[in-house]
Amino acid sequence: MVTLTPQRHRERIAGSEVIERDRIGPKVLLLPDGTLAKLFRRRRGLSTDRLYPYSLRFVRNARRLRQQGIATLAVRERYRVPGERLDVVVYQPLPGRSLKQICLAQPGRFDATMAARLGAFIAELHRAGIFFRSLHLGNILALETGGFGLIDVADMRFQPWPLTRGQRVRNFRHLVSMKAGKEPVRARADALLAGYLGETSQPSRRLRRQLDDLLARW
């Protein structure tokens, strides 16, 4: 990872457009060349973020997803701006739109077929042992190829066996915790669950009941 001065960093992001921000400032920038820059602000003092920075998790998780055949962003570089306690990851975006954007702008596009395919995609992640803590509509992209992909992948865990029943239910709780754009998905909850269970090896009755109850309360 290279180190840049604040001045050099400002030169690198000159002319960019803010795509996402929080209460502190910009989080994701669209650079003039069409790539995206994700900004990670490092915390002060001793912390897990200092020992294993989220920017590094982001890069490694993206690489591992791609190795496992899961569509995600392609990282170009990672650099640090010590003077601003900032890490930056520059990456090539996926060609698609988030399900949140689709559900807000084109709710009719999220039909039973898309819901079932989404369920099957989540089952694929769980079968591969991928626990994506940020699994929600804003971080799942509908791709131009017809499949799905993941973004904002810093908070993720990989294990060499499929997720347990408890992990699967917890992951679905993350999905249903997001409110914006949820109505079209909630209306297709039956298709979503059917697609998920159809790709899950021998789902237990308890898992079926727990997921059904969870989606029913969404």
Q: What is the pLDDT along the chain (218 residues), one digit of tens a residue?
A: 899 999 999 999 999 999 999 888 999 999 999 999 999 998 766 566 667 899 999 999 999 999 999 999 999 999 999 989 999 999 999 999 999 999 999 999 999 999 999 999 999 999 999 999 999 999 999 998 889 999 999 999 999 999 999 999 999 998 888 777 788 888 999 999 999 999 988 788 999 999 999 888 87
196 and 144 both lie in a single domain: yes
Q: Give the whole-angstrom CA distance, residue 8 versus residue 180.
A: 37
* 3-class DSSP assignment, residue 28: strand
CB 174 within 8 Å of CB 130: no
Is residue 84 domain-shared with residue 136, that is, in the same domain? no
Q: What is the CATH number of the domain that holds 77?
A: 3.30.200.20
Q: Contact at 8 Å (CB) between 60 and 73?
A: no
| Same domain, residue pair 111 and 175 | yes
CA 126 to each of CA 57, 87, 158, 215: distance values in angstroms, whole numbers, following the listed order: 19, 30, 10, 17
How many domains does the chain divide into? 2
Q: How confident is the model at residue 45, as a pLDDT?
A: 61
Give the 3-state secondary structure of 173-213. Answer: HHHHHCCCCHHHHHHCHHHHHHHHHHCCCCCCHHHHHHHHH
Phi, psi of 73 (to 5 degrees): -70, 160
Determine the Cα–Cα distance for residues 140 and 95; give it in Å rounded to an integer. Answer: 12
Residue 205 sits in a domain of what CATH number?
1.10.510.10
- State the pLDDT at residue 56: 96
